[in-house]
Structure 1
Amino acid sequence: MKAVFRMFSRTAQGLSNEHLFYSSQCVVYCEGKGTDHAYSFDQMFWKNIFSKCGINATPKSLGSKETVIAMANEVIEKDISNVVVALDADYDRFYNETIGDRRVIYTFGYSFESDICFGLDFLLTLNLFVNSSDPQAESTKFSTFLSQLDRNLSRAAIVDARYIKRTVALFDRKKPQSLIVSTPSGPVLNLRMFLSKLAAVRASPKAGSFIPPSERVNGLRSFFGKMVSKVIYTWFHRLSSRLSGRRVDYDVFLANAICHIKLGVAGDDMYDHYNSSIAAALSS
């Protein structure tokens, strides 16, 4: 696949025609590390999102966000068609750093992990992994847990967004599991530990961010996506262990959530975000 990318990246016309090689409607360049024979989670996510919006897309992982942004700049500079560049939003909206071109689209939430949790089909996931005698009761418990988690993460999202560009980090983003603590109502972000380095962060160089009034801060949607997915996975894993004694692997949980994500219907925020973004990206 890397050889194919080099072949088609020689000219703007070659990139514009690359989708024909795959018999698809467009090529979607995204983050992540796929292989010639296996999709990355990013590729799985974008393939499924485009499919749910009625588009047969070929996703291709390029690696880091910086590499994908470089591809976006090339697409814009060469005015390439039939190509979409898909990025995790992170806190780019809070800093007005999103790329304003229709061919560049962003996740609804912080990252694809945020979106699959936001659109998790809980009952389908429960029935896949757990033989519950009362799935509706478990679904009600999960909804209560999500509401509590959203409140728990909302303050963290504001603080994290404000200080993300400081030279001192609030927490190790490579170890999101380290900040999860158990409570009687389920796993949550340990706010005390999360805020323990706040004084040092505030004293470090770099101005804080300005969160635009139009940008709504939602704990589940806005906070660091890997942390959100780890907390929700931990809750579900404990449910599965308690009811059936089965261990649910995180990657399996993630893959299932991607494949069965619920975008909702017209009028729902996430559905409207992706439907309008993809339609605009492919408009001539």
Structure 2
Amino acid sequence: MTSFTRTESGVTNYKLFYGVDLVVFTEGGNKSYSFEEICEGKSNCESIDIKFWNVILTYYLKHYKFHFKAVGSKETARKICNLIVSNKIKNTLVTIDSDLDDFFGSKFISPAIIYTRGYSWENDVFCDLLIKKQISSFLLTPYMSSEIENEIDSHFEIFYRHASRLLKLELIYRSNNLKFISSCCGDSFIEKKLHPRLKIKEVLKLSNKKKIELKRPVRLNLQKNTLCPIMFTYGKLQLTIAIAIISFVCKKYTQIKTFPKDILITSMIEFYKAHTWTPTFCQAFSQ
């Protein structure tokens, strides 16, 4: 094991150690590890990120064998990315959230570094089309009524109207090397007991607390058409509103009254796996 520790070449040789074609580093997991700890062989072996990226990679790279290691830290993932683009490590993939890197030109360009389409896997998986399919699977009717479909659309329309403003705020803070709502847990800002809604008062409270951190004058020099709240809403917020909508609609129209979060998440990833590559889904998701 000594030849695999504390060296960049050791990371390259992980594929031999695990008997695979590629070692895949993801974010996520219960614990964050430094690059030095990764070189010592430490990592999370279970995470939602691993489940999501396994779906992607086993579809597109069917004939490859993978070993996944979740590092729990974007900083560590980016350290590995730097080593990949400088050709210091090989036989390695990094799968990473896009976050808001599109806006700041901080994405790595390499076939061995793969980004989510939206802010994070939550945005890719919890899109309205797949949420409708998930809700439809709970119904005891052969199809979803227009009443239910319109209600789902209405909840998302209201949320994204506010999310567009949140995205602008988040970008303002990020341009000052700060975070706004992405520094918090998404659960804090979504009303779940009544109608699934963004808690505007909580957002205003956070804004009043954090605005003193901003440098003046405050500017955001971005084209409006790049600010897509569906793609770039904070992933944890997207996850929370989506689960709240699923729960609310199903409680209203079905006999199912409890929806364990972890089960819904894994179920949605399975829906993503089953439907992502159908012509209908690809056409809708590319618009």
For the aligned pair, the TM-score class normalised by the smaller chain equals 0.7 to 0.9
> Which residue of 2 is the match for residue 78 of structure 1?
87
**Structure 2 counterpart of 1:71, one-letter code:** I
Q: Residue deviations 1:239-266, cap 9 Å, x none?
A: 3333213311111111111222143567
> Which residues of structure 2 form unaligned runs of 5+?
31-41
Higher RCO (CA 8 Å, separation ≥ 6 residues): 1
Does residue 180 of structure 1 match 2:193? no
**Structure 2 counterpart of 1:53, one-letter code:** Y
Question: Once the 2 structures are TM-superposed, how far is the Cα of residue 69 of structure 1 from its aligned partner?
Answer: 1.1
Percentage of identical aligned residues: 19
Q: Residue deviations 1:55-103, cap 9 Å, x none?
A: 4443320121111111112223334333211111211222222223332
Q: How many residues align?
A: 266
Q: How does 1:107-126 map to 2 (within 5 A)?
A: 107-118=116-127, 121-126=130-135
Call closer, same or farther: CA 1:187–1:269 in 2, change over 3 Å: same
> Which residues of structure 1 form unaligned runs of 5+?
273-284
Does residue 248 of structure 1 match 2:259? yes
Question: Once the 2 structures are TM-superposed, how far is the Cα of residue 29 of structure 1 from its aligned partner?
Answer: 0.8
1:20 & 1:268 partners in 2: Cα distance? 40
Tell me if the contact between 1:149 and 1:220 (Cα under 8 Å) persists in the aligned partners: no
1:48 equivalent among 55, 58, 65: 55
**Structure 2 counterpart of 1:216, one-letter code:** T
Call closer, same or farther: CA 1:118–1:26 in 2, change over 3 Å: farther
Does residue 31 of structure 1 match 2:27? yes
2:141 & 2:278 partners in 1: Cα distance? 30
> Which residue of 2 is the match for residue 87 of structure 1?
96
Tell me if the contact between 2:99 and 2:120 (Cα under 8 Å) persists in the aligned partners: yes
1:53 & 1:119 partners in 2: Cα distance? 24
The farther-off stretch of 72-81 and 84-93 is 72-81
Tell me if the contact between 1:93 and 1:215 (Cα under 8 Å) persists in the aligned partners: no
Does residue 136 of structure 1 match 2:147? no
Q: How does 1:232-271 map to 2 (within 5 A)?
A: 232-242=242-252, 243-261=254-272, 262-264=275-277, 268=283
Question: Once the 2 structures are TM-superposed, how far is the Cα of residue 112 of structure 1 from its aligned partner?
Answer: 1.2
Q: Residue deviations 1:169-217, cap 9 Å, x none?
A: 6447443222113698x41212343134435544324476756549722
Higher relative helix content: 2
Tell me if the contact between 2:29 and 2:71 (Cα under 8 Å) persists in the aligned partners: yes
Call closer, same or farther: CA 1:144–1:172 in 2, change over 3 Å: closer
Tell me if the contact between 2:131 and 2:242 (Cα under 8 Å) persists in the aligned partners: no
The farther-off stretch of 238-247 and 258-267 is 258-267
